[in-house]
Every structure is written in structure tokens, then in C-alpha cells.
Amino acid sequence: MKCNLLSLAALSPAAVWASCVPAPDHSCRLSKPELSCSSAAQPALVDSCCVETFGGLVLSTQFWDTYTGLESAGQLLPKNSFTLHGLWPDFCNGSFTQYCDLSRQYDPHPSPNTTTGTASGTPVPPYHGPTVDTFLAPFGATGAALLRWMNKFWIAQNQPNTELWAHEFSKHATCFSTFSESCFSKFQLQKHTDLLEFFTVTAEYFKRLPTYDWLAAKGITPSNTTSYSLSDIQGALAARHGGVPFIGCSGPKYNETAAGKGSKDAGRTALTEVWYYHHVFGPVQAGKATPVGADINGGSTSTCAKADKAVWYYERSKGSEK
């Protein structure tokens, strides 16, 4: 059976996925959409192409960058929007793995360079073939529309966008049970359908999480003169998402700044990332996500300073937006 994605360009990722699942021999439409990380979401009990049984804690992650480093090449940030980082399959306990299928390794600069991130892990060889954007060309209008969107909202820093996309697919997509190569190859789907589908679904999750708008609605906007409190940032986003997101900061530690001199607060002070956590019913591709908090396993929910008005949400650099 062949899946003609070209005729499905106007559909949502969930509709594209549903239209490309063959029946009756292996139809996820006939499978009960068990919730990931539940007792029912076990490989021995369900079809792992139809229920996420490996990376059941799904993170949709975003960047707040102030420059790309490749402005001269036309690689610019979108106005009034965070940018997409990726879609990640953590284990239900909050740990994770990476580069789970080296036959689909397209990352020219693997990071880490072993499957475990340690010297004892399997080496991840750098990829030297065509860039992943070329893999979308055979999908015609569908691939072209997706590529235009990615070049607007899925933006890398200090590297071409294609390298970020390749990294996200190779490191993370290959570790979802529902994006396993066998879920596609058994139906003789067009080569790189898995990559097209992962990019499309990752974009769909991002679109549901308009971080910039949610913050702006609470009067939290980029500024080089006004700082904010982590509790206000996190609270504004939790109220809209339904679970406490992880807020990532970089830059100086608060107790290394003039404002924080003498403080024990060693949190960082420049807002850079937001991670939203979910469990999912059925396959990740169906988009039936249930928000959960970043604290679901008792871990940290931020690397930012907790002191009042200690976090800077900086404006974008001049010439870095389009």
C-alpha cells in the first residue's frame, strides 16, 4: 500500500496520520488509544506503533534566542514568537536516551557522540550525506509548505537550520516507539515519510503552545530595561498550558550580578527555553496530549533565579528578526 501525502497537504498532522494508516491488518483506528505511562501502555499489551510505549513523557520544547549568528545568510528569527526546539520522548521516570536507530542518523555533529553520552556507549558517527531538507522535496507541495514553515519558526543558532532539524530527528524521533522505522516500512510508505511526519507533528505541538502570546497577555514582553520574576513567567504559562513548564535560563548566576550580590540564589538570569510536558493517548502523531507538570517526577522545574525580578527576557538583537 502506498500513502499519497501530496493529496493531504491541507490536513492536520492527526488527519494525515489517520489517512496513512492502512486497514484492516494493522489499523490504529481500531486500537484503543491507551495513555502513555499508564499501566496499560506496555509493549506486551498494545501495538507500540499505536501507543507510545517507549518515550511516554513527551516534551514540546521552545527557544527564546536573541540572535541566530547567521543573519547575513538570511537566517532570521520570527517576530513575536518563540522558536521551535523539538519534540522529545523522555521515559516515564524523566530519564531519557538518544540516537536509538543509527540507520536513521542524519546529524552531522552528533551531541553527545555516543548513544549513552558516556565513553561506554555506542559511537554515533557523523553524517556526511545530503541535508535533510532535500528529503522533503519528493513530497511536493506538502514538503515545500512544511519547509517554508520550518524556515520561519524552527530556527537554529550558530548553525544552519538543517543541522538542527537533523539533530532533532536523529537524536529524538528515533526514540519514540510510534516513530519506529518498522511502523512505516511494513506498509511500504514513501522513503522519509517518517521524517516528514515527525517534522509535521513537532510543528503541530509547537503551534498549540504560543508562549510569546501567553506571556504578553500577562504584560510580560521582551525588554532590556525591565526584568521579571520566575514565578510570574511560570505561573502565566502554567495557567494556559495546564501543567507547570520547565523554564530554562542561561547567562550570569544571580548571585554573580550586582543585583544579587550577597544572595545564595545561583540561578541563571536570561530566559532561553520553555519545555512543556505531556502524556499522550495513542500514537504521538494523533496529537491527543494531556498536559502534565515538569515536576511530575519531583525534579527541578527551572534553572532560573528565583529571586524577585531576577529574570531577564531580553529583546531580540537589531537585524535578527523578520
Q: Which amino acid is at 82?
A: F
Return the bridge partners of 261, or none.
none
How many Cβ atoms from other residues are within 10 Å of residue 177's Cβ? 25
3-state secondary structure 180-224: CCHHHHCCCCCCCHHHHHHHHHHHHHHHCCCHHHHHHCCCCCCCC
| CA 288 vs CA 35, 205, 293: distances in Å | 9, 10, 16
Alpha-carbon span 189 to 2, nearest angstrom: 5
Q: What is the dihedral of CA 5, 8, 12, 13, to 10 degrees?
A: -10
> What's the DSSP call for residue 230?
H
Counts of helices then strands in the chain (DSSP H, E): 7, 5
- In angstroms, rounded to a whole number, what is the distance separating the alpha carbons of residues 128 and 303? 35
Q: Cα 90 to the chain's mean position, in Å?
A: 11
Q: Which residues are catalytic?
A: 85, 168, 172
